[in-house]
Amino acid sequence: MSPTLAVGGLVLSLVLGVSLLAPWVAPYAATEQHILERLQGPGPKYRLGTDQYGRDLLSRALLGGRTALGLGVGAVALGLVLGVPLGLGSGYAGGRTDDVVMRVMDALLAFPSLLMALLIVTALGASLTHALLAIGVANAPGVARIVRSATLAVKEEEFVLAARARGESPLYVMFGEIFPNVLPPVVIEATIRIGFAILTGASLSFLGLGIQPPTADWGLMIREARQYVFLSPWPLLVPGVALGVTIIGFNLFGDGLRDRLGRVG
């Protein structure tokens, strides 16, 4: 196992583990306030300090991880649901259909994913559901292009031609024969995209267009902590470090997985 894959896997294991166990290991409820102990530094009672409302930063960071991971994984899953059929169908059909679909995807890819998500959330309204939908839609064109490229590489292979010669339906050929053979690049792309989806979700929350108070969320925590940074840096540092470590973990794991699968292939 490569060091990159090992380190990424270790980081993700820790992040996923503490996030899943957050309701049981968090010392306090995410919204529990201790006004007389606001903006406290780390200590025996509050391991990572408190925010401007006296809420425990450790508890909010742990529970915010569940929100961030749920949003990231859900958005990428939606992007796969939308992008994989488009990429498979476009690559398999070829010709004019492929040209039309890919030109539409290229037009959508011309917009940065954050900008596209901002446009969608602005039109629909700020909420967790709308943020997930926006990020998922913004990820779909990139996924479609990756799947389409992989489909073009294998659609003329003998096992595909044999399936077509047997009279199998196009749906079976695409999902039963081609898709299992393009799955490795899809898995790698999805792993890396989860990190960027988490970052996009945090950016929307920071701008006030994603997850809304009082829900624990890293981007929202950073937004709320800005004006108190000179009184106490901990409300800003804790979610910032958690967000950075998680994104680095996904990127390292995705890069390591790509190297590993590339060598196997």
Q: Over the stretch 204-240, which tens digit does the pLDDT of each residue have?
A: 988 888 888 888 889 999 999 988 888 999 999 999 9
- Reported confidence tier of residue 264, pLDDT bands at 50, 70, 90: very low
Query: CA 79 to CA 158: how far, in whole Å?
Result: 30
3-state helix vs strand vs coil in the chain, percent to 5: 75, 0, 25
What is the rounded average pLDDT for all residues in the chain? 88
Query: CA 243 to CA 42: how far, in whole Å?
Result: 19
Residue ranges of domains in the chain, CATH in brackets? 3-264 (1.10.3720.10)
- Reported confidence tier of residue 124, pLDDT bands at 50, 70, 90: confident
CA atoms within 13 A on the CB side of 99: 2
Instruction: For 168, list phi and psi in degrees, rounded to 5.
Output: -65, 150
Cis before 214 (ω within 30)? yes
> Residue with structure tokens 């196997």?
264
Query: CA 265 to CA 259: how far, in whole Å?
Result: 10
For the entire predicted model, the pTM comes to 0.89
Give tens-digit pLDDT for 166-218.
888 888 888 888 898 888 888 888 988 999 999 999 999 888 888 888 888 89
Left, alpha or beta for 32 (phi > 0: left; psi -120 to 50: alpha)?
beta
Query: CA 187 to CA 109: how far, in whole Å?
Result: 20
